């Protein structure tokens, strides 16, 4: 393995092929998250894998054929195979660039650091895509995903996914974008900070209403109405 260490994170290349380009992309992705959240997170490690087999082994139960990166406790694992990224970029309409993937997974490190996983799971995925600039299309395999009935089910905040699906990322991105655009980034960050300051069980709906001055159910109905 070849590694590069900073005060915030360490990059570890599984095959010792760490390049200046990868180091630069990791720095860009970390700083993009740091600027958004306006703070550092705990130290973490970035593992760069180069084969699907190795990535699958390290990702364990989180592996799925279409997934190119995972965030675990204190570390992220991303696969660096240019051919795969060219194919994914074409298939998913510009959401699968390597630096986007890095930004997305580092955002999950921040979500864990800020206690967001005790809130709405959909917000952690939507926020990761939003900060990474992964703007998805509104269809998947030719089917319209953002229909009202399906979107509402995917935004139930207590929902935990046993198996990830590409469709949920689309709904979560647009809901997060709507939330930040409607109420502004400062209020959005206040809501996030309210999670990080309370390490006990969080009353998500109560906290949501206090910060945004609207009930969670009303927000969902308003968002669904834009589809």
pLDDT tens for the chain, 227 residues long, are 689 999 999 999 988 888 898 899 999 999 999 999 999 999 999 999 988 888 888 887 777 777 788 888 899 999 886 555 455 445 544 445 788 889 999 999 998 888 877 767 788 889 999 999 887 765 544 455 556 777 777 776 555 555 556 677 888 888 899 999 999 999 999 988 887 766 555 677 888 899 999 998 899 889 888 87
- The pLDDT value given to residue 120: 74
Same domain as 227, residue 123: yes
Q: Which of 113, 145, 166 is the last residue of a domain?
A: 113
Q: Which of 96, 113, 130 is the last residue of a domain?
A: 113
- The pLDDT value given to residue 156: 62
Same domain as 147, residue 101: no
- The pLDDT value given to residue 61: 74
Note down the domain range covering 196: 118-227
Write phi, then psi, for 218 (nearest 5 degrees): -65, -40
Helix (H) or strand (E) holding 178: helix 166-183
Q: Are 33 and 71 in contact (CB under 8 A)?
A: no
Same domain as 41, residue 97: yes
Domain count, the chain: 2
CA distance 82 to 98: 9
The count of C-alpha atoms lying within 13 angstroms of the C-alpha of 180, restricted to the half-sphere facing its C-beta, is 17
Which residues of 22-148 form beta strands (DSSP E)?
44-49, 69-72, 75-79, 139-140, 143-144
CA distance 20 to 140: 35
Alpha-carbon distances, residue 120 vs 47, 48, 115, 208, 223 (angstroms): 27, 29, 11, 10, 16
Same domain as 188, residue 131: yes
Same domain as 167, residue 75: no
Same domain as 129, residue 100: no
Same domain as 163, residue 125: yes
- The pLDDT value given to residue 140: 47
Q: Which of 113, 146, 179 is the last residue of a domain?
A: 113
Same domain as 87, residue 10: yes
Which single residue is written with the structure tokens 């980034």? 185
Same domain as 214, residue 169: yes
CA distance 80 to 50: 5
Q: Are 110 and 150 in contact (CB under 8 A)?
A: no
Same domain as 213, residue 122: yes
pTM for this predicted structure: 0.85
Alpha-carbon distances, residue 45 vs 11, 72, 78 (angstroms): 6, 10, 11
């Amino acid at each position: 393995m070849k590694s590069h260490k900073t005060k915030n994170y360490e990059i570890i290349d599984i095959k010792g092929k760490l390049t200046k380009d990868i180091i630069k992309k990791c720095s860009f992705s970390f700083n993009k998250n740091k600027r958004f959240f306006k703070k550092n997170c705990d130290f973490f490690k970035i593992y760069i894998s180069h084969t699907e087999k190795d990535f699958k082994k390290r990702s364990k139960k989180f592996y799925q054929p279409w997934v190119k990166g995972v965030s675990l406790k204190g570390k992220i694992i991303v696969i660096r195979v240019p051919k795969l990224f060219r194919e994914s970029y074409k298939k998913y309409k510009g959401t699968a660039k390597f630096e986007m993937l890095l930004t997305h997974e580092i955002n999950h490190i921040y979500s864990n650091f800020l206690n967001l996983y005790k809130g709405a799971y959909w917000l952690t995925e939507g926020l990761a895509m939003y900060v990474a600039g992964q703007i998805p299309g509104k269809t998947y395999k030719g089917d319209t995903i953002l229909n009202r009935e399906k979107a509402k089910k995917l935004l139930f905040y207590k929902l935990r996914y046993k198996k990830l699906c590409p469709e949920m990322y689309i709904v979560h991105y647009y809901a997060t974008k709507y939330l930040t655009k409607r109420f502004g980034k400062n209020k959005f960050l206040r809501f996030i900070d309210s999670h990080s300051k309370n390490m006990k069980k969080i009353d998500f709906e109560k906290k949501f209403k206090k910060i945004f001055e609207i009930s969670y159910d009303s927000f969902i109905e308003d968002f669904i109405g834009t589809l």
